[in-house]
Amino acid sequence: MRRFLFRWIVNSLALIVVAMFMKDRVFLSDYGAAVMAALILGVVNAIVRPVLLVLTLPINLLTLGLFTLIINGLMLSVVSNVVNGFAIRGGFSSTVLVALVLSIVSGLLGGLLGD
């Protein structure tokens, strides 16, 4: 439970940081939207993402894992459609780019804060 709360806080902070640096692509209305988006992203990543990774395993092997970026973008797109106050502008390629940056920022913050 403690690890879940830590990851939730880190992902919320990562969303806020990404929204600050990518203002033209990411819209967050307030901190509550970031917290809610991080929570739903965590749930979607825990439930839906593993199923998609198994179903797309052949193409993921062919692309040496790069197709995972597409899946991450899809998960982020689902969250942006569900959470009010959180949106990604610019189409699916923009969503994949935001997912990549979000993964990097989340990993860095997790490392800095002692994941």
Domain residues for the domain of 98 are: 2-112
Q: In the chain, what percentage of residues exceed pLDDT 70?
A: 99
Residue carrying the six token digits 């002692």: 114
The tally of domains found in the chain comes to: 1
Residue 56: which of 75, 77, 79 has the closest Cα?
Answer: 75
pLDDT digits (tens, 9 = 90+) for 90-113: 999 999 999 999 999 999 988 888
pLDDT band at 115 (very low <50, low <70, confident <90, very high): low
pLDDT digits (tens, 9 = 90+) for 11-49: 999 999 999 999 999 999 999 999 999 999 999 998 999
